[in-house]
Amino acid sequence: MRKGIGIAVGVIILLAIGFLVGRVITNLSNGYRYQLLEEKKYGPVTWRCIHEEVGFAYPYMVKNELEYDGRLIYKADAGVSQNNPSVRGVAVNGGNVSWNDGEYAYELKITPLPQPPVPANKAQGAGQNGNGEEAEAAAQP
């Protein structure tokens, strides 16, 4: 009886260890991790120094991101365990954003597009049917 209980406990322990090892391997090969290390705001531009891993990432890579009004405009590796971020000299002048990464200088001109006017029949709820044809308004007396 004791031998049967010992075998059952051993099997349960081996199954638990196998499950945990499988989870670790899956997380290392398919996992996604994002860690914010530092952040600075320059008006509508946000610079971030991050650690991002997809799957098993070795060595520890630091990345830099620049975001303009919620849109990612630049992302690059800063190097292996590099303390100094590679994005330097971020300047915002109206719709112009400039920065350098120690190798290249970047200038980006951002101009918002004009919004097209909404036609009167679209604004009132009338419009096209699912086939792209104008829907006929059925007048009920």
Is the bond into 59 cis (omega within 30 degrees of 0)? yes
Q: Model confidence over 73-131: pLDDT tens digits?
A: 999 887 654 555 578 889 999 889 999 888 889 999 999 889 888 887 765 555 555 55
On whether the pTM is more than 0.75, the answer is: no
Strand order in the sheet with 88-93: 88-93, 96-100, 105-109
In what order do the strands lie in the sheet containing 71-80? 32-42, 45-54, 61-68, 71-80
CB atoms within 10 A of CB 99: 23
pLDDT band at 139 (very low <50, low <70, confident <90, very high): very low
Q: Is 91 helix (H, G, I), strand (E, B) or coil?
A: strand
pLDDT at 80: 56
Locate the domains of the chain by residue range: 29-109
**Two structure tokens written together for 18:** 């196998």
